[in-house]
Amino acid sequence: MLDLVIRGGTIVDGSGGAPFTGDVGVRDGRIAEVGRVDEPARRTLDAGGLLVTPGWVDVHTHYDGQVTWDSQLSPSCWHGVTTIVMGNCGVGFAPVRPGAHEYLIKLMEGVEDIPGTALAEGIAWGEWESFPEYLDAIARRSYAVDVGAQVPHAALRFYVMGERGADHEQAPNAAEIETMGQLVRDAVRAGALGFTTSRTKNHRASDGRFTPSLTAGADELLGISRIFGEAGQGVFEVVSDFAGREQEWELFREMVRQSGRPMSISIGQNDASPEAWRGMLAAISAANAAGLPIKAQVAARAIGLLLGFEATVHPFSSHPSFREIAALPLAQKVARLREPGLRKRLLAEQPAPSFAALVWQFERLFTLGDPPDYEPPEEKSIAAEAARLGVTPAEHALDLLLERDGHALLYRPFLNYSAFSLDAVRDMLLHEFTVPGLGDAGAHCGMICDGSFPTFLLAYWGRGRTRGARIPIETLVKGQTADTAALVGLHDRGRIAPGLRADLNLIDLARLGLRAPEIVYDLPAGGKRLMQRATGYEATVLAGNVTFEKGEATGTLPGRLVRGPQAA
């Protein structure tokens, strides 16, 4: 007797092979049979007309705090994700000395825009000090998705060096490097999936200081890498500005060489040098040819800011006249902004220079719509629309932001959209040494809502795109399942094959899509975050249990901590 059988679906099994029609039988949380299944089952799901895929594995999330207060792990759970990996970009909450969590909160607030009050009140501080204790705290809980954790360099550095680890004036001494390496090695032996670090000036704590690992030198990174390598398992995740380009590559190659551990690096298209990513992918190909397993994590679309009166920033958020009313509740703010006097004053002002590049470039600002259009043509920009309407771009933006009683959001794609097209993203996704990632689910609560990347990947690239070439469904599914799972060493999932985990999605591809993002106020301490729902997921199955049906949670929580890499 099987526990579950999924009948008559179009199986896209994660291998990259052509889809085929068949059944999937499940027993004891694993896939028992694929093809024609005759054995009776306690429960049957009819998948006629639906795709049956492995559950998505999202390797780039920031749920490090949320795992302690949210068993669902939304929004990922609504997007067919069955395994999340957190602790990316060098930020997280373990190890931490008793009472020393204030700085880690400021860092997460600054780097990932997660409200500090939510982290202070929501996280069960005191439940752990070491990284293994943090893993134990997660292991005591149950979730709607499986959870993998990585050791973040910033927390590690602050733990070992104290304030010196955050102020960029001193390098760690040899003993401190040794300690950091041992802590990573022991955390990985206890079940951490890897070690992550950030070398980008885009990452700052809310106190203004750059993220601690920014200035970590070769001694430190190679020292940690060598001892990490003694564990014989685990992966690196790295984000970098690639300052001092060839030196930076040499450092990454050495980290991989000296540890024997694979690495993934975030890559995107930057408006300042829109072709640089091609060189980076060439460097990654060369590293692989030299026997060094390095992959790029790439985004499924542009990485974009959402701007609005409820969001963290918008075109007018630094204007003096807006600052005067910034603290008012939304309804009052909207009422004031509709007063002709204030409107006139506001439209006569300019943004602070530090804001202008992002929020005041109206030729790169768009309305998003519902369903949202993530590949808007240049002629649909706020600047172009304003020209047609005969008003200034700022005036038009203000009118748009006041729509829906001030709940409206504008979209400012800032990476991967240099040419007003996602063709570069397609090239990145199809590159041999890339995996889909970078969604940052759980983070950027008031600015970015890219936890929906897995849904977008299949819905847009597999079906919806009309502005250019699409990508075969089987390639997309492999990318978001087998490839991401393998990236972090989870070989027990990501494909539909006998013996592997029964983590599955039943998808109505014709209906698969995204709803418009919206701001909700459901974080601890009433904190706000951007949320986004999906359509088209008929069911999601985790370890053989139906966790979501038609987009709603069934209430079952089979998700657990994934301790370390898993064999097939």
Which residues bind to Zn ion, rule: CB under 5 A?
A: 88-89, 440
- Are 6 and 23 in contact by the 8 Å Cβ rule? The answer is yes
Is 203 or 493 the residue whose CB approaches Zn ion more closely?
203
- Helix ranges, 89-244 (H): 102-112, 116-122, 131-139, 153-161, 174-190, 218-229
Least Å distance between CB 25 and Zn ion? Answer: 38
Is 66 or 566 the residue whose CB approaches Zn ion more closely?
66
* Amino acid (one-letter) located at 212: P
Least Å distance between CB 415 and Zn ion? Answer: 13
Least Å distance between CB 502 and Zn ion? Answer: 29
Is 206 or 421 the residue whose CB approaches Zn ion more closely?
206
Is 10 or 297 the residue whose CB approaches Zn ion more closely?
297
What's the residue count for the chain? 568
- Helical axes 276-289 vs 245-259, angle rounded to 10°: 30
Distance CA 277, CA 468 (A): 20
Least Å distance between CB 15 and Zn ion? Answer: 28
Is 105 or 477 the residue whose CB approaches Zn ion more closely?
105
Distance CA 356, CA 493 (A): 45
Least Å distance between CB 155 and Zn ion? Answer: 14
Strand partners, 110: none
Distance CA 449, CA 374 (A): 12
Dihedral-angle region of residue 27 (phi above 0 means left; psi in -120 to 50 means alpha; beta otherwise): beta
Is 41 or 85 the residue whose CB approaches Zn ion more closely?
85
Is 382 or 448 the residue whose CB approaches Zn ion more closely?
448
Give the burial class of 100: count Cβ atoms within 10 A of its Cβ; 0-12 exposed, 13-18 middle, 19 or more buried.
middle
Is 147 or 227 the residue whose CB approaches Zn ion more closely?
147
Q: Could you tell me the end-to-end alpha-carbon distance of the chain, in angstroms, rounded to an integer? A: 23
DSSP category for residue 490: B
Helix (H, G, I), strand (E, B) or coil at 331: helix
Distance CA 233, CA 328 (A): 52
Least Å distance between CB 58 and Zn ion? Answer: 11
In this chain, which residue has its C-beta nearest to Zn ion?
89
Is 63 or 128 the residue whose CB approaches Zn ion more closely?
63
Distance CA 383, CA 521 (A): 32
Least Å distance between CB 265 and Zn ion? Answer: 12
Sign of the dihedral defined by the CA atoms of residues 111, 114, 117, 123, in that order:
negative
Helix, strand, coil content of the chain in percent (nearest 5): 35, 20, 40
Least Å distance between CB 196 and Zn ion? Answer: 9
Least Å distance between CB 198 and Zn ion? Answer: 8
